[in-house]
Chain A
Amino acid sequence: MLAVRDLTVAFPPARGKGDATVALDRLTLEVSRGEFVAVLGPSGCGKSTLLRAWGGLLVERARVSGEIAVPRASDGTRATAWMPQRDGLLPWRRALSNAMVGAIAAGVPRERALPRARALLVEFGLGGFEDAWPHELSGGMRQRLALLRTCLTERPVLLLDEPFGALDPVTRRRMNAWLASVGLVSQDGERAVALVTHDVDEAITLADRIVVMSGRPGRIVHEVQAHGESRYDREALLASLDA
């Protein structure tokens, strides 16, 4: 459903001197329908660049080679919805109106999106906060609202860039447990989620498959599928991160 093949992304130096920064080096990765994949790696390993490549958000000066495959809607637009690390909520829109930005940007008709937005607000624990300004919401609520906005695009592929990375560890753990319970994807579903994170436990809690990336330039060094009750071998994952 979602793939990169031999993807190399390099950024020329800003002032034209020195070497280009290679963010990704011949990366090949595929995400299937119904899959929740976590890309785990240290800061600066290029995992955000990977999501931006899928989301069509690479800056103009980036030098790109290789193949980027994303599903497209019938009208040729990308079927991806990207959620930034910082919530990106607009301070002049109330909560419900901020969520609706996803529907507006993706061209979902208002009469269909609005009832869905109201229902999801309740499901996401934001019931009663429809008319709150973003600055009145807690960090966890803001991230949930940003995720809700992403869901309202009705696009099958969600690209989540450290969705809870800005939160404190306790809140983050709670958010991850909640997100796992929401069930963004199901095996037989139409959706796929690619999440990048530097937090092993976040990846363990959420993903069906974990891909570990090395430091810059980013390459895949380890890949595991969840299995059984314990899902993952945490120690092995940590060891592969350190390698």
Chain B
Amino acid sequence: MTPRTRAALVGGVTVAVLIAAWEAAVRMGDLPPFVLPAPSHVAATAVGSAPLLGPHVLTTATEAVLGLALGATVGWLLAVLTATIPTTGQVAQPVVLLSQTIPTVVLAPLMILWAGFGLTSKVVLVALTVFFPVLIASSAAIRDVDAEHADMVAGLGGTRRHQLWIVRLPASVPGALAGLRIAATYAVGAAVVSEYLAGASGIGVFIQRSRKAYAVDQIFVGIALIAILTAVLVLAIVALRRALTPWQPAHARL
């Protein structure tokens, strides 16, 4: 057995034991389903409401993916710009830091007022959550490689433009992807929270409606969907890293 399959097996068994314990606790404790439904009950609800769930999942997934793309692009460009023209970094830094002292959830009502109940406000909110880790990770990646390699290019006769194209831009890619990998774990959560406040569709809307109907089993279905969606996003980004940074050893890409 390889260490990887062993790790996967141990993880799977742990989850199975936890779910079994939950099931047993509900049955033996005789808890009413509107307080804590058993996993089997949640699974049955999920199957029953599946046709209803499709559009909700699609909405949230769209918001998360577009928000990730927008936030990652802005964060990456800002990192490259800052490394190329230090003044932009000095201008951007206070704004960036200030934006991080305000939780994005707090900004959600404003975004909804400005950009409406639809897709735009949620994409912007996800992007606001995502850009910071991408910016930080890209900047760090550029800094790590910079002095030595930039000197190498200059010593061979290269200009500042060569330093940008040959060294800084490619150096930032693994950093940006590492930041994106971290950001992906927040993206779905940020989309769902903004849906709590307003919207006609999305997992957040589904959860809010279920809460109003005291359908605790449906809330659990919503939570499970968020977890699955996040896992799918993270795996997609891991695959993207494998494709875009083929020189990196596998352990550095997780």
Contacts and interface: CB of A to CB of B under 8 A. Distances in A.
Interface of A: 55-57, 77-78, 80-84, 86, 88, 90-92, 101-102, 104-107, 133-135, 149-150, 153, 155, 159
A105 B170 contact: no
Given A86-B148, A90-B166, A92-B247, A101 B155 contact: no
A82 B170 contact: no
24 contacts: A77-B157, A80-B155, A80-B157, A81-B155, A82-B152, A84-B152, A86-B148, A90-B149, A90-B167, A92-B174, A101-B153, A101-B156, A101-B166, A102-B156, A104-B162, A104-B166, A105-B156, A105-B162, A105-B166, A107-B157, A135-B249, A149-B156, A150-B156, A153-B157
B247 A153 contact: no
B204 to A, nearest CB: 39
A119 to B, nearest CB: 19
A133 B246 CA distance: 9
B148 A57 contact: no
Contacts of B157: 77-78, 80-81, 105-107, 153, 155
The majority secondary structure among interface residues of chain A is mixed
Contacts of B154: 55-57
B152 A88 contact: yes
B245 interface: yes
A102 B154 CA distance: 10
B155 A57 contact: yes
Question: Top 3 closest A-B pairs, CB basis?
Answer: A82-B155, A105-B158, A88-B152
B244 to A, nearest CB: 9
Contacts, number: 67
A150 B156 CA distance: 7
A81 to B, nearest CB: 6
- Residue in B152, B171, B174 whose Cβ sees the most chain A Cβ within 10 Å: B152
A83 B151 CA distance: 10
Contacts of B249: 135
A83 B155 contact: yes
Given A88-B149, A92-B247, A150-B156, 18 more contacts: A57-B151, A77-B157, A78-B157, A80-B157, A81-B155, A81-B156, A81-B157, A84-B148, A84-B151, A84-B152, A86-B148, A92-B173, A101-B152, A104-B158, A107-B157, A153-B157, A155-B157, A159-B155
Interface string B166-200: 11001101100000000000000000000000000
Contacts of A84: 148, 151-152, 155
B146 to A, nearest CB: 12
Contacts of A55: 154-155
A80 B106 CA distance: 57
A78 B157 CA distance: 7
B177 to A, nearest CB: 12
Contacts of A88: 148-149, 151-152
Given A57-B151, A88-B148, A104-B162, A82 B156 contact: yes
A107 B148 CA distance: 21
A149 B154 CA distance: 13
Contacts of B152: 82, 84, 88, 101
Contacts of B151: 57, 84, 88
Nearest to A155: B157
B178 to A, nearest CB: 14
Interface string B130-166: 0000000000000000001101111111100010001
Contacts of B245: 92
